């Protein structure tokens, strides 16, 4: 009888310790970026100094980032591209995922697996043929080119996620709506889609994160400094030959990661719900 409370206490200690270790491991990169962005150059480049020690705070790195680079424009570009490509991908993925999960027609299962396998094709194999397409439509060097290219890898992934979530919703709800006179689209938008909001949010967060952090297509299709996105603008403008502007790099990386971190923090409950439900049924 005495051993049971001790066992429960030991389990709680192990659980808390595991969470603390995971928390430190997760937050340490943000802490390191924050510290490096505020350190003076003499501390950043002091090889003999303690990297964890603070000898002063400076905002010169942020000032350089905002005044000597196009960082604010990069931030706007990343927001436009990520938001537009996520909206296009979700609109297509909702329809495709619903069709593959709820409608019965020949080849639906194979088509669903094809969507997932398409997502696994590496971007390094696709950017050359996509470059020819982008050049043909005169979209090279424009944000519209990125907005239309990103759904090529976002739609397969979002469709696969939403298929699993749509399967987790009972068919009886939809069938009752069809019996009451709803059309297939009305049943989808009025009955099924409101229940699938956690899944849609999960797919949207993933799509936004992937497009926000995308590197290869943005590097290949955008060359103008003012038209770049954050993942391309920060390293290309703040790494010149063998000179690394570490303070500015850390400041740009920190500010570039904040929007995605805030997005996850605001929708964490819906994200976990949509991810777990989709994983169970997918």
pLDDT above 70 for 92:
yes
DSSP string, 17-72: HHHHHHHHHHHHHHHHHHHHHHS-HHHHT-TTS-TT-------HHHHHHHHSS-HH
Q: Decide if 102 is inside a domain.
A: yes
Domain shared by 107 and 53, yes or no: no
- Global pTM reads 0.83
Domain shared by 111 and 28, yes or no: no
Please give the tally of structural domains in the chain. 2
DSSP string, 150-170: THHHHHHHHHHHHHHHHHTS-
Domain shared by 171 and 51, yes or no: no
Beta bridge partners of 240: 243
Domain shared by 38 and 74, yes or no: no
Domain shared by 152 and 29, yes or no: no
Q: Decide if 63 is inside a domain.
A: no
Domain shared by 51 and 138, yes or no: no
Q: Is 100 left (phi over 0), alpha (psi -120 to 50) or beta?
A: alpha
Q: Decide if 83 is inside a domain.
A: yes
Domain shared by 73 and 155, yes or no: yes
At 102-120, the pLDDT tens digits run 887 777 777 777 777 777 7
Which of the pair, 2 or 227, is modelled with greater confidence? 227
Share of the chain above pLDDT 90, in %: 25
At 228-240, the pLDDT tens digits run 999 999 988 888 8
The whole domain housing 80 covers 69-281
What band does 273 get if pLDDT is binned at 50, 70 and 90? low
């Amino acid at each position: 009888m005495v051993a049971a409370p001790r066992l429960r206490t030991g389990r709680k200690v192990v659980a808390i310790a595991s969470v603390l270790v995971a928390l430190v491991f997760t937050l340490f990169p943000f802490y390191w970026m924050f510290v490096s962005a505020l350190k003076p150059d003499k501390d950043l480049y002091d090889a003999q100094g303690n990297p964890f020690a603070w000898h002063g705070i400076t905002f010169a790195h942020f000032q350089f980032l905002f005044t000597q680079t196009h960082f604010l424009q990069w931030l706007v570009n990343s927001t436009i591209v990520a938001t537009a490509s996520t909206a296009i991908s979700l609109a297509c993925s909702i329809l495709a995922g619903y069709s593959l999960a709820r409608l019965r027609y020949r080849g639906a299962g194979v088509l669903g697996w094809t969507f997932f396998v398409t997502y696994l094709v590496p971007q390094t194999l696709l950017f050359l043929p996509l470059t020819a397409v982008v050049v043909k439509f005169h979209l090279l060097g424009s944000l519209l080119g990125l907005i239309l290219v990103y759904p090529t890898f976002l739609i397969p992934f979002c469709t696969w996620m939403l298929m699993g979530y749509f399967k987790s919703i009972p068919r009886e709800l939809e069938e009752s709506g069809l019996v009451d006179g709803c059309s297939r689209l009305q049943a989808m938008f009025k009955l099924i889609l409101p229940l699938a909001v956690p899944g849609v949010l999960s797919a949207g967060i993933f799509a936004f994160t992937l497009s926000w952090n995308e590197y290869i297509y943005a590097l290949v299709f955008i060359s103008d400094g003012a038209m770049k996105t954050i993942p391309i603008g920060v390293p290309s403008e703040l790494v010149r030959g063998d000179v690394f502007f570490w303070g500015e790099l850390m400041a740009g990386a920190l500010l570039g990661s904040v929007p995605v971190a805030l997005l996850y923090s605001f929708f964490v409950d819906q994200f976990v719900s949509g991810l777990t439900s989709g994983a169970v049924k997918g």
